[in-house]
Amino acid sequence: MLYCYIFLYIKIFLSLLIDCSKDWSSDVQPEKWNRIAKEKIDQMLNRNLNGKVAKNIILFLGDGMGMSTVTAGRIRKGQLKNNNGEEEITFMESLPHVALSKTYNINAQTADSAGTATAYLTGVKTRIGAIGVDGRAFDCPTSLKSKTESILKWAHYAGKSTGIVTTTRITHASPAANYANSFDRDMESFDGINFKQEHFDQGCKDIAAQLIEENSYINLIFAGGRKKFLSTNHTDYGSTMKGDRIDGRNLIEEWQIKMERQMSKHKFLWNISDFHDLTTGQYDHILGLLNFDHMDYETDRVIKNPIEEPSIIDMTAKAIEILGSNPNGFFLMVEGGKIDHGHHSSQAQLALNDFVVFDEAVGQGVHLTSPNDTLIVVTADHSHVFTIGGYSIRGNPILGININRYSNVSLQNLTYTSLLYGNGPGGIKPDSLRRANLTNIQTEHKNYIQESAVYLKSETHGGEDVAIYSSGPMSFLFDGTVEQNYIAHVMAYSACIGPYNSTKYSKCDMNRGILVKSSAPDFLSSKINLFFLNIPLLLVIKNLN
């Protein structure tokens, strides 16, 4: 036991040395903080309220990216650059407009990814587990009468190109809500378990079949999930694995035949070589299923030799490049789905590394488009029971043992990490009497499972609000605390599509433009009539002099 304590104190001493070696000497000077605050005020006062019509819409969805994930991910990103981390500014946090989204489902205080995706993509809140149907749907017959339409479909109707990029299966809950209508998110394929013959006989279709049969107009898909499109009789591309379907269908081949009949220039791709060969204008329709199941965690992706999958950064850049050739614009959803998976496993390193590359994908969206004509929205579907705490010192490794100014051990005389979960597989197991001793544990290893208060097989979602970050046309409409379904409505209004098509909604003026510079002097002196925006605005100006 004595050796354990000696090792612990050496580890604490070395951590303090590391902390001291990182330069934060300028932080003690008040001038730095005053300058940063004044620069932010100047930035806010000189913003333009962009009231133009959006040509393009990009929705970045960090699955499970609650505020604690954003904060820990920000620190992780900074520390990967050998900085303290706390001062890092992510791409998403640099966007000018911020709001909070209430994520509950109509029958669930803490939501799942299906009901939330239906809200932010179709504008209608629904039940937990439901995709693309309203709250009246609870079985096959009722779901056929309760279908909702998504922002992706509204964009398609408006002549825009459409695309989905995700690191999950394309039939998974979040991406599926772009095109599918199902009362049960698990009906991804005709597998005889989640989707059975009785469902088919009642007129329902599995999610993969809905994509190929009813939504083949989608111009670009980069995702995983080939197994949902192949039958148990079909061998996967590049492996010996068989598909999930029991109906004998190969939906990938059916998609190819359908494209040929439509005389569409098309490409099915399943490997990174084909991905890198893609160029703008080459194809009208691209179906990229780049993994048999979900795509890899970024941590695992980069250590493979050779690398087998493109990153979410590369997929985002390629999607914008290809979809951007349409003069009518495009809608693109980009999902960082593995953030959520890492949290469910209580493996914070996996979740945070995927957050870092997701934020870099947001950076691609910012750099490759113009805020004049492109609405960018970054949000999450829900949070996780993921916490940061312990009074850790500045620059403490975010994945490391908590080193602080008070006590580095619990009342059980055991060390602990700054990152913990409220529940999950890291809880004290029934055959254990106390927490594990972390002294010799590599808590920064990708396989390390963070500790949790309640022992569960899988960590759960969190019920608190999540952030919405936005820029571009009409992004200022994201303000305050809003219902999650509001997101779809703002996206549609920004582009005058769907229910806000100018022929349906007289307040959507296709000729609207920049509103007014939002500086205080301009507001006080301006006589600009804001009614041309055609939405109700109330300006309350208080004289503080």
- How far apart CA 315 and CA 167 sit, in angstroms, is 10
- By three-state DSSP, how is residue 383 classified? strand
Residue 63 is assigned to a ligand binding site: yes
DSSP letter for each residue of 41-61: HHHHHT-B---SPPSEEEEEE
Residue 370 appears among annotated catalytic residues: no
Distances in whole angstroms, Cα of residue 430 to Cα of each of 46, 81, 93, 316, 454: 58, 40, 42, 44, 11
Residue 344 is assigned to a ligand binding site: yes
Strands 480-483 and 220-224: unpaired
What are residue 147's DSSP bridge partners? 133
6 contact partners, CB below 8 Å, separation of at least 6: none
Residue 340 is assigned to a ligand binding site: yes
To 5 degrees, how large is the angle CA 89–CA 93–CA 95? 120
Helices 486-495, 113-122: axis angle to 10 degrees equals 30
- Give the helix/strand (H/E) hosting 252: helix 251-261
What are residue 268's DSSP bridge partners? 287
What are residue 288's DSSP bridge partners? 222, 269
Contact between residue 350 and residue 343 where contact means Cβ atoms under 8 Å apart: no
Contact between residue 231 and residue 246 where contact means Cβ atoms under 8 Å apart: yes
Residue 335 is assigned to a ligand binding site: yes
Q: What is the DSSP letter of 75?
A: H
The secondary structure of 168-237, three-state, reads EECCCHHHHCCCCCECCCCCCCCCCCCCCHHHHHCCCCCHHHHHHHHCCCCCEEEEECHHHCCECCCECC
Residue 489 is assigned to a ligand binding site: no
Residue 445 is assigned to a ligand binding site: no
Contact between residue 216 and residue 259 where contact means Cβ atoms under 8 Å apart: yes
**AA identity, residue 46:** N
15, 68, 113, 392: which one is catalytic? Answer: 113
Q: What is the DSSP letter of 324?
A: T
- How far apart CA 325 and CA 219 sit, in angstroms, is 12
CB atoms within 10 A of CB 511: 8
- How far apart CA 399 and CA 449 sit, in angstroms, is 11
Q: Of the candidates 378, 350, 357, which has an alpha carbon nearest to the alpha carbon of residue 459?
A: 350
Residue 382 is assigned to a ligand binding site: yes
- By three-state DSSP, how is residue 309 classified? coil
Known binding-site residues for Mg(2+) equal: 63, 172, 174, 335, 344
User: Which residues belong to the active site?
Assistant: 113
Known binding-site residues equal: 63, 172, 174, 335, 340, 344, 381-382, 461
Known binding-site residues for Zn(2+) equal: 63, 340, 381-382, 461
